[in-house]
Amino acid sequence: MKVSYFETARYRPPRPLAPEWPVPSGDYDRDAGADAYRGMIERIRYVEELGFDWVSVSEHHYSPRILTPAPIVSASFIAAQVKRITIALLGPIVPQSNPVRVAEELAMLDTLAEGRLVVGLLRGTTNEYLTYDLNPAEARERTDEGMELILKAWTEPQPFGWQGRHFRYRTISIWPRPLQRPHPPTYALGISRESCEFAARHRLGCGVSYAPFEVVAKATRYYREQCARHGWEPAPEQIVYRANMALAETDDEAHAFLRSQPTTAPFSMRAEVSGAFMTLDSRNVAGEARPAIRSGALPTTFIGGPDTIVEQVRRCRDEVGAGVLDLSLVPPGWGDPDLLMRSLELFGTKVLPRIRDL
Amino acid sequence: MTARPAREGHVQADGVTIPWVETGQGTPLVHVQGVDAPRLTPAHEVLGRQYRVIAFGQPPDDATRSRPELASTMAVAITKLGADTFNLLGSSAGGAVALWLALQARERVLALVLEAPAAIRHGDAGDDLESRLEELATPTLVLFGTRDAVVTPDMGGVYKERIPSCHLVFVYDAGHSIAVDRPEAFSEVVGDFLERHEAFVISRTATVINP
């Protein structure tokens, strides 16, 4: 089992913020923001020292908890601060990006980071569509087409044009190309039927997140079936599971910690907007319909002291088939950074050595 | 101006009978289809607003005629239909005949479009088409569908590399019959290329939302 640390550049507001999204920019505290990024680098260096395999970053807009609207910037800055750890850029939101630009930036970063890049491409969560004015009805198609174009831009040796449904270019010929051949290890991130099928068709990895084992296992099972249909079998490392983990010295402490965490989603859109999204944006787990917006906080699927966690990781390996765990140890935002450092240390010393060979 | 109705017939050339169908008016756009019986597609109807589209089926190939011979027969047939200079479109196996025709009648062919050409087949074609491609000065557009299961789209790069004034465009989510799978996308890029040749790389798409 490989282990990835999900870094969110966690921002700690000096004053409570309004719980409605979008939160006014004027309430942002510049010094707290600078602290958030200093903390990011401190944690990255620490997880490298602890022996984590990857550090991952994501793309989130207008988020007071996760200050990474431009993951290429955070990934590049991180890559310059550490030496060995793999940088997992899990999340250019493809439907609202210029795919050629994404291909160029990732190729450049892969080269600058001397081949330490892993890439995840995704459709993005519903709220992100408001930021760049994306029609949810087009998001799925733009994602599939954009991902295919990114792969083509990385691999086609001759200049070419692209006559798509949503993207049209007459001249594409990127420099640099990625350092890794044919391109960095790439995952389609998502539990939808479409995402799994895309990954299988293009021999990409599959990334699932947050939902309990039995839910994400539906997606990874479907993914593996589709891979078989396309005549190949994914390696364990090609399934990554991003999850929340509540780790403490004992099971009781871990459960007590979890009970202290908020159970509601931190920032909600206006009810009329989220209500409209429920009909305008459609989502599924391996083809089974699910609501576009979840209510409540993201679930925590690993809870306990080191022994319990090791058992849960073993179960995850067996049931989900994941070969990479991408972990958030304390929910972003309000979490105490010192507590996070202690959790990372506990994980690095008491859990990591015992799950390596799973 | 009302559109002329589609017309069809047969033309005799070099002792063989070649079926054709035709729609639209304007500068001729000759289509060498990779099928025996020619047929009009929705893409032809769109291109027919600007061009006199003449689609030829394959002349009966008795296996004694080489691809260069088929091409010169086709040139005779095109002359007989009253087309002197023309744009040329070749699909699949028709792409090889179109390439030979463009090499043989270079002053007559204004621009060449190859739709998923099956023209370069290492070793078994029995002619030297591949080595002749560098002589081609005609503005050329090569199209491949990203889902082509007959000729792998990777072949597109081979044409792009060999033909001096070649542009390669991938048509997303189209299979081997691009004009059938994505008629609007096909007509748009082909129409733009026929109109502007290599300058078609310069965007004319307006992005103003409200002035």
Q: What is the least distance, in Å, from the CA of B136 to any CA of chain A?
A: 18
The model carries a pTM of 0.96
Reported as half-sphere exposure (CB side, CA atoms, 13 A), residue A155 has a value of 15
Contact A152 B170 (CB under 8 A): yes
- Which residue, A38, A235, A198, is CA-closest to A121? A198
CA-nearest residue to A145 within chain B is: B172
In total, the C-beta contacts within 8 angstroms joining chain A to chain B are 57
Q: What is the least distance, in Å, from the CA of A227 to any CA of chain B?
A: 17
**Phi, psi for B159 (deg, rounded to 5):** -65, -45
For chain A, residues with pLDDT lower than 50 are none
User: Using N-to-C axis directions, what is the helix angle for A337-346 and A30-50, rounded to 10°?
Assistant: 10
DSSP element (H, E) containing B161: helix B156-162
| Spatial distance between the Cα atoms of B133 and B111, rounded to a whole number of angstroms | 15
Q: What is the pLDDT of residue B2?
A: 46
Residues of A with Cβ-Cβ distance to B200 under 8 angstroms? 170
CA-nearest residue to A162 within chain B is: B170
Average pLDDT of chain A, as a whole number: 95
How many angstroms separate the Cα of A214 from the Cα of each of A208, A210, A242?
12, 11, 14
How is residue B172 written in tokens?
């997303």
How buried is A145 (Cβ within 10 angstroms: 0-12 exposed, 13-18 middle, 19+ buried)?
Answer: buried
Pairing of strands B16-23, B51-56: antiparallel
CA-nearest residue to A164 within chain B is: B172
Supply the ipTM of this predicted assembly.
0.95
Output DSSP code: residue B35.
Answer: S
Residues of B with Cβ-Cβ distance to A149 under 8 angstroms? 172
For chain B, residues with pLDDT lower than 70 are 1-5, 60-63, 122-126
**Phi, psi for B169 (deg, rounded to 5):** -130, 130
DSSP element (H, E) containing B183: helix B183-196
Interacting residues of A304 by C-beta distance below 8 A, sequence separation 6+: A246, A247, A248, A251, A254, A255, A312
List the single best residue of A94, A155, A162, A163 to mutate versus B (max B Cβ within 10 A): A163
Q: Which among A145, A158, A170 is the nearest to B201, CB-wise?
A: A170
Q: What is the pLDDT of residue B56?
A: 94
Q: What is the least distance, in Å, from the CA of A59 to any CA of chain B?
A: 26
Residue with tokens 């008629």: B183
User: Using N-to-C axis directions, what is the helix angle for A71-81 and A30-50, rounded to 10°?
Assistant: 50
| Spatial distance between the Cα atoms of B195 and B188, rounded to a whole number of angstroms | 11
| Spatial distance between the Cα atoms of A78 and A117, rounded to a whole number of angstroms | 11
**pLDDT tens-digit profile of A245-265?**
999 999 999 999 999 888 888
Q: What is the pLDDT of residue B1?
A: 42
Q: Which among A145, A157, A163 is the nearest to B169, CB-wise?
A: A163
Residues of B with Cβ-Cβ distance to A165 under 8 angstroms? 172-173, 185
CA-nearest residue to A167 within chain B is: B172
| Spatial distance between the Cα atoms of B74 and B19, rounded to a whole number of angstroms | 11
**Edge-to-edge order in the sheet of strand B140-145:** A168-172, A160-163, B166-171, B140-145, B109-115, B86-91, B27-32, B51-56, B16-23, B7-13
